[in-house]
Amino acid sequence: MAQPDVLVVGAGPVGLALALALKDSGLELALADARPRSAAETDPRILALAHGTRLTLERLGVWDGLPATPIRSIHVSQQGGFGRTRIEAAEYGQPALGYVLSAGALAGALRRAVDAAGITVMDETQVGTLAPAGDEVVAPLAGGGELRAALVACAEGALRADDPGVVEHDYHQHALIAELSVAGGHHHTAFERFTPEGPVALLPCGDGYALVQVVSPERADKLLALDDAAYLAQLQARLGSRVRLTGVSGRLRYPLTLRYRRNPVGERTVWLGNAAQTLHPVAGQGFNLALRDVWALADTLLGHPGDPGAAATLAAYARARSLDRFGAIRFTDTLVRLFSNDLPPLRALRGAGLLALDLAAPLRHFLAKRMMFGARAWP
């Protein structure tokens, strides 16, 4: 194959979306992914997509036909305290505040579109340590040989804690994820319930709910040891009577750590998705932020024709993304710190804040627009 102008490392949803966003740019594109093709398309993780993300996926031509469940209402409350708020899509003239679907379903749609565009994807191809050399980057391949590109976009793998350019904060929490069935249906309502142990989120997905329950690592050990009936009972106690849970399946856990790269660009290199930042799931910002990064990078490259890896071009991208990127990081981190404890003063403050959101439309609109479009009410 010809040497690409832009090499995208990672053929998951983020890398595939970047390739699609650049397909008409005139740049030679190639993707390399260490996994077999089936890995991305069978990924069971659940994604919460903001309304702004839907608009981007429509622009990429992959939205129609996606098995996405709309979120038309979000109910936010705290256990053991007053105050709650409800955000409705109808207030903003939108069909939904967001959508829920599996990462595998999205990756499958994106991959089919990339294949149809004739973009090269090298599955089961592991890229070694990148080596910038003049006006290109040398990307050695684990099986032998190398690729050279003017720009490498790293959209594969998580951040390493020992990287000097990475900031890390361990929340000392684990997320328990599962699929829940519910009596009477979900009515397209999502729940965010703040408890002394951590937030509990129910996201309408298909006919039931996708669960994210945040607890301490020690509590996670105990909860995973429960049988399904006992696990549902403790969860129902935290949620109250707003929903009646009837079944649970697919319980898994993963640790929660904030990691982000101080500068998402380097010499002829840009990092995207989990390779740039890993956020707490409390506000569902991770993938939505990544897709805004993708769209902005494509827009910057289109607006700076010529060398896609030029330092001035990458600096322009970093400047354009700074406010939204660090805004999302701080917004998520602040929510975790405010809502993941049971100190009485903070409990009262949280209740007052939720009550204010419910009574003050401008505050509620600010929160809703941030969730739908990011820190700059993008786009």
Successive 10-residue mean pLDDT values, the chain, 379 residues? 90 97 96 94 88 93 95 81 72 86 95 97 94 94 92 86 85 92 94 82 93 93 96 92 93 92 96 92 83 97 96 97 90 75 50 44 49 44
CB 44 within 8 A of CB 73: no
What is the Cα–Cα distance from 219 to 95, expressed in whole angstroms?
38
d(CA 188, CA 185): 8
Query: Partners of 191 in the beta sheet?
Result: 75, 202
Backbone angles phi, psi at 185, to 5 degrees: 85, 165
Rounded CA separation 149/208 (Å): 45
Q: Where are the domains of the chain?
A: 6-68+100-166+258-342
Q: Determine how many CB atoms are found less than 10 A away from the CB of residue 359.
A: 10
Cβ neighbours of 24 (radius 10 Å) = 10
Two tokens, residue 43: 């990924």
**Angle of CA points 36, 161, 287, to nearest 5°:** 55
Strands (E), 114-244: 120-122, 131-133, 136-140, 146-149, 151-154, 166-182, 189-195, 198-205, 208-215
d(CA 262, CA 329): 11
Cis peptide leading into residue 44 (ω within 30°): no
Instruction: Report the relative pairing of strands 73-78 and 120-122 from DSSP bridges.
Output: unpaired
Strands (DSSP E) contained in 241-349 are 245-261, 265-266, 269-271, 277-278
| Identity of residue 181 | S
Cα 245 from Cα 81, distance rounded (Å): 22
Helices (H), ranges, 117-227: 217-225
Half-sphere exposure of 247 (CA within 13 A, CB side): 8
What is residue 355's predicted lDDT score, i.e. its pLDDT? 44
Tokens 């627009």, residue located: 369
**How is residue 200 written in tokens?**
């509990």
Amino acid at 276: A
Report the pLDDT value the prediction gives residue 344, as an integer from 0 to 100. Answer: 52
pTM: 0.88
* 331 token code pair: 């917004």
Angle among Cα 209, 74, 228 to the nearest 5 degrees reads 25
Predicted local distance difference test score (pLDDT) of residue 205: 94
Alpha carbons 27 and 35: distance in angstroms, whole number: 25
What is the largest distance, in Å, between two alpha-carbon atoms of the chain? 63
**CB of 21 within 8 A of CB of 292?**
no
Spell out the CATH class of 6-68+100-166+258-342.
Answer: alpha beta
Identify the CA nearest to 22 among candidates 172, 137, 153, 147. 153
* Residue from 332, 320, 229 nearest 278 by CA: 332
